[in-house]
Amino acid sequence: MNAVGTMILATAIAGVAGTGLGGLVGAMLQKNSNRVISLLLSFAGGVMLSVVCFDLIVEAIDTGTGIFAVILSVALGVAVTFLLNHIIDRKTSAEIPHIDENHPKTADDLNELIHSDHLEHHFSRNDNKMSLFIAGIVMACAIALHNVPEGMTIGASYASNDGALGSAALVLAVIIGLHNIPEGMAVSVPLITGGMSKLKAVLITAASGIPTILGALLGYLLGEIGPLGLTVSLGFASGAMLYVVFGEILPQSILMYRSKLPAFSAIVGILAGLLIIFA
């Protein structure tokens, strides 16, 4: 199997299989454990942070295009991801009754982060199929905004290793797969609660991981252009992941489990990332 095929397979396992497994768990249990999800997300966020800061950004600097090109690429990744998330939140937050001036200025639950709470809200009101379809599209876009940057980190890592399965790509594939399990649970539970069959809900949930593959292809192809393309690919993916970790995963983990344990879980994740990268 060539480099692109291997990358697609690894990313599919991380994105589609990881999310699908979460959907299957959600279908079996039909409930989420906020504390377990909080610790799993914060640990994954710590590993992602470690790989981004000590591997991907270092590789971007090593391309020789200059530190300012790296900084601008990272800043662009942060800005684009933040802007797209802000647009979705601003257009949809008014639909949910509990999101008001007293609500934290960030997601305090995984359902809210990926907007499956909007779909569940429409189900509970027995809204028409068009409303449910639009809510489903919004949820798919919210998931894609997380999955595409995750996939880009894998693709950019492949490109930086000349198509080889480098340590960063392997670690990211495993961690993203683990991170997608609770996300899949958050997708399948409201679908099943709304009356959808468990099999169909799991299949739709697995399909929501497809944007990860698209992100990997984008990161890899951009990285193949040349040193500047590789810098932009690595930097943009790193910036997007930094925003996801600091702007969403860690704040949400702390709000879901109001203690210091998510912080310790993130620190353990950072150390685990260092061990995997340099051991």
pLDDT in tens, 119-147: 777 777 777 777 777 777 777 777 777 78
Give the model's confidence band at 114: pLDDT under 50 very low, under 70 low, under 90 confident, else very high.
Answer: confident
- What span, in angstroms and rounded, lies between the C-alpha atoms of 69 and 232? 8
Q: Are 254 and 46 in contact (CB under 8 A)?
A: no
First to last CA, the chain: 27
Would you state the pLDDT for residue 267?
96
Task: Please classify residue 120 by burial: count the beta carbons closer than 10 Å to its beta carbon, then call 0-12 exposed, 13-18 middle and 19+ buried.
Answer: buried
Mean pLDDT of the chain: 83
Q: Are 17 and 177 in contact (CB under 8 A)?
A: yes
Would you state the pLDDT for residue 165?
56
Would you state the pLDDT for residue 273?
85
Q: Tell me: pLDDT of 256 over 70.
A: yes
Q: Tell me: pLDDT of 205 over 60.
A: yes
Q: Tell me: pLDDT of 248 over 70.
A: yes
Q: Tell me: pLDDT of 255 over 80.
A: yes
